[in-house]
Structures are given as structure tokens and as C-alpha cells.
Amino acid sequence: MLFKWTKDLSVGVAKIDHQHEKLIEHINGIFVALNSEKRTESIPSLFDGLIEYARRHFEDEERLMEQHGDPSLPVHREEHRRLLHDVNEFKADYLSGRAASMLPFQVLDFLVKWLVNHIRETDRMMGAHLNEFGVH
């Protein structure tokens, strides 16, 4: 089953919410491809797309946090770094054959849990801080 963005995941900053929706689309694309007969053809580029989009999104978040003096920036930045590392590991394991039998629901479960927890625990605090400075 595909993951859907819902209003309860909003952090109160429209640009960030929109980017979170796009991250979910990338995650769902990987899930669909892992369930496909042609999985080997599209998986590497889908992982690359997720990694690149996540990197740009994280840079946007971190730039906003820096501009508005968010004291949680170092911890937030480290969470971003760890996720990019983990997704790169998923990709490397897939390409090397170590995870050729990677189960689609395991990948989806990991990515969705990470994203939902990150939004609810870390990004909401960031959103509240940005809202105090008029960023919506």
C-alpha cells in the first residue's frame, strides 16, 4: 500500500509541506518499482532521484533554520546526514546484489517511519520556530 501525505503531517510552512509531499512521491516510486517485473532497470535511478531531492529539501530546511537562528540546527542536520547515508547504503546493497531480494515493504517501512518520525518530532519544532518569525 502506498503512503499518502495528510494534513496531520503539516509543519506549518507551505514550502516544506510541499517538499514533504514530493519526498513521499519519491518513496512511493521506489516501492512501486520494487514490486515491478522491471525492478532492476529503474531502481538505481529512483534511489538517485530520492537522494537528490532529499538533499535539496534538507538544504532548504537547513538554510531556513540558519537564517532564523534555530538552535536545533546541528541535531537536525545530523538526522539529515544519517538518512542520506542510509538511503545510499540501500542503493549500494541493491546494486551489489547483497539486497537483490530486498522486500519492497521493508524499504517503504523504513523510509516512511523515518520521514513520519522526523516530521512529527523534528520538523514540527522547526516549523514552530519559523512560524515565530512569520515564515508560513
Torsion sign across C-alpha atoms 43, 87, 113, 60? negative
Name the CATH superfamily for 9-132: Hemerythrin-like (1.20.120.50)
Domain ranges (residues) in the chain? 9-132
Q: Can you give the pTM of this predicted structure?
A: 0.91
Give CA 23 to chain center in angstroms: 5
pLDDT of residue 108: 79
| pLDDT averages per 10-residue partition of the chain, 136 residues | 89 97 93 76 87 97 98 96 92 76 74 94 96 97
